[in-house]
Structure 1
Amino acid sequence: MKSTQLNLNHCKAAQALLTQSIRERNTDVAIICEPYKPIAGSGWVASKCGKAAIWSLKSPVQEVRAANDGFLRAKINGITVYSCYAPPSRELRQFQTMQEEISEYARDRAPLVIAGDFNAWAVEWGSKETIARGTILLEECAALDLGLANDGQELTYCKAGRGSIIDPTLLSSSLYRLTTWKVSNEFTVHFEMHGRGRRKQQPKTTGRKWEDNNLDEETYTESLRHAQWTWATELANDIARQLMGNISEEEHLATGGMSKSAT
C-alpha cells in the first residue's frame, strides 16, 4: 500500500500539488494535517476539528472514528490508520490525553499506522533534544510495539528557510519490516508497505517498556515518596527521567538486583 504523509498548512496551492502528486505516484492513502479544505467525493474523512484527515483513493474506508481533539482513525485494507495533528499551543496535559485515547483503541488492534504532525521533539527522529511531548509519544510507541520509520536525517517540514523533523511515522512491527520510507523534495513523506519477502532491519528502539502486571505498588509508592520535584526549574521530561530512575533503583534494591522492567 503506497501512502503519503504531509502537513498542508491550510495552503490551497499545496493541496493542489498534493492532489497532482498522489495521482502521479498512484498513491493508495494520504495522511494529511491542516488541509485547505475537504476533497469532494468518496474516501475523504477528517477529524471533527478538520485539522487531521485521511484520504483513501482506492479502497473503502471502514470503522471511522473522528475525534474532536485532533486525530481520527480508519481501517483501510485491514490496516488501522491514524492521522494526528497536535498544534504547538496544545497544553501538555491535553496532548497526553490525546495520546491516551489513541492508545486505548489501538492496543491489540495491529497492524497500525500512526502518523502526523505531533509538534514533538525527540532525538530518536532527529531532533536535538527530547521534550516532554516526545517522551510521551515514545512511551506510547513502546507500549504498542511500534517501530519508528523516520531515518532522522531528513527534514519533514520546511518554511521560510527553516525546517523541522516533527512528523513521525509509526508502524506496527509487522508493517515496519515490509516498509520503505523517504522524504521527497517537496518535504512530503512517502512510504510503501510491500508484500511478503521484503524485509527491513528490526524497528528502532522507541522507548522503555514496563511490564504492567509486574508492578510492585509498594515500590512505586516508595519511589514517589523519595522523589524531590523542583517544578519551577525542571522540564517535564527531566522529571519523567527522574521518576523512572527512582523506580528502577527501588526495584533493584527490593529484588536484590533483579529488575522487573523490560527493555
Structure 2
Amino acid sequence: MNNSLASHDAIMEIVRRSVDLVVVSEPNDRKMQEESWLHDATCNMVVRSFSSNIPIVRHGAGLGHVWLDAAHILVCSVYVSPNVELGVTLDELSRLKNAVCKEVVICGDFNAKNVAWGGGVTDRRGLLLEEVMAGLGLICLNDGDQP
C-alpha cells in the first residue's frame, strides 16, 4: 500500500463486503495501530482476521514476517527488502513451516525474480526462494513484483 491512507481506506471498504482475512504490505502506520492489526517487527507487513470463522489460536512475528495460526491453517505474510539477505528470512519460514502440522500459506514481497512465477529473468534471490519453497513442499506463484 506504500503507507497510503487512501489505499488503506479502499481496502477497508472491500473488507466490509465480507472478507475474512487480509494481508497487507507497507500499511498506513496510523490506521494499522488504530485497528489492531498483527504486524512484524518493522511494521512493513500486517495481517488481520475479520471473521469469527477464523479464530486466531496464536500469532507471532519476526523481522520481515508476521504469522497467525487460524486453527486449520497457518498464514504468514513476508516482506524482504532488497537490502536484506533473503536467506535469514527463509530460514525462519522453514523453521515455522516445519513446526506445524497443517496447511501453510506464505504470501508477501520477497524482492526476488524468477521465470517460474512470470518474471522475465531469474536472479539469485529468485533461485534461492524457488529452491527453499520446493524443499518445503510449497509453490511460489508470484512475489508481488511480477505480473
**Interval of TM-score (by shorter of Structure 1 and Structure 2):** 0.7 to 0.9
Aligned pairs for 1:116-195 (under 5 A) are 116-150=108-142, 156=144, 164-165=145-146
Residue 25 of structure 2 is aligned to residue 33 of structure 1: yes
Q: How far has the Cα of 1:136 moved from its partner?
A: 1.4
Question: Is the 2:130–2:140 Cα contact (8 Å) retained in structure 1?
Answer: no
Partner SS, residue 112 of structure 2:
coil
Partner SS, residue 146 of structure 1:
coil
Q: 2:103 aligned to 96, 111, 114, which one? A: 111
Q: Percent sequence identity over matched residues?
A: 27
1:87 match: 81
The letter for the 1-side match of 2:44 is K
Aligned pairs for 1:38-117 (under 5 A) are 38=32, 40-41=34-35, 44-58=37-51, 59-67=54-62, 69-90=63-84, 94-107=85-98, 109=100, 110-117=102-109
**TM value normalised by structure 1:** 0.50
- Separation in 1 of the partners of 2:105 and 2:71? 12
Which string of whole-angstrom CA distances, capped at 9 and with x for unpartnered residues, describes residues 217-246 of structure 1? xxxxxxxxxxxxxxxxxxxxxxxxxxxxxx
- Separation in 2 of the partners of 1:54 and 1:142? 24
2:6 match: 13
Partner SS, residue 9 of structure 2:
helix
Q: How far has the Cα of 1:72 moved from its partner?
A: 1.3
**TM value normalised by structure 2:** 0.87
CA RMSD of aligned residues (A): 2.0
Larger Rg: 1
Q: How many residues align?
A: 142
The unaligned stretches of length 5 or more in structure 2 are: none
Partner SS, residue 67 of structure 2:
strand
Q: How far has the Cα of 1:108 moved from its partner?
A: 5.6
- Separation in 2 of the partners of 1:15 and 1:140? 32
- Separation in 2 of the partners of 1:129 and 1:79? 32
Partner SS, residue 77 of structure 2:
strand
Runs of 4+ off more than 4 Å: none
The unaligned stretches of length 5 or more in structure 1 are: 1-7, 157-163, 167-263
The letter for the 2-side match of 1:45 is L
- Separation in 2 of the partners of 1:124 and 1:97? 22
Q: How far has the Cα of 1:53 moved from its partner?
A: 0.8
Q: How far has the Cα of 1:149 moved from its partner?
A: 4.0
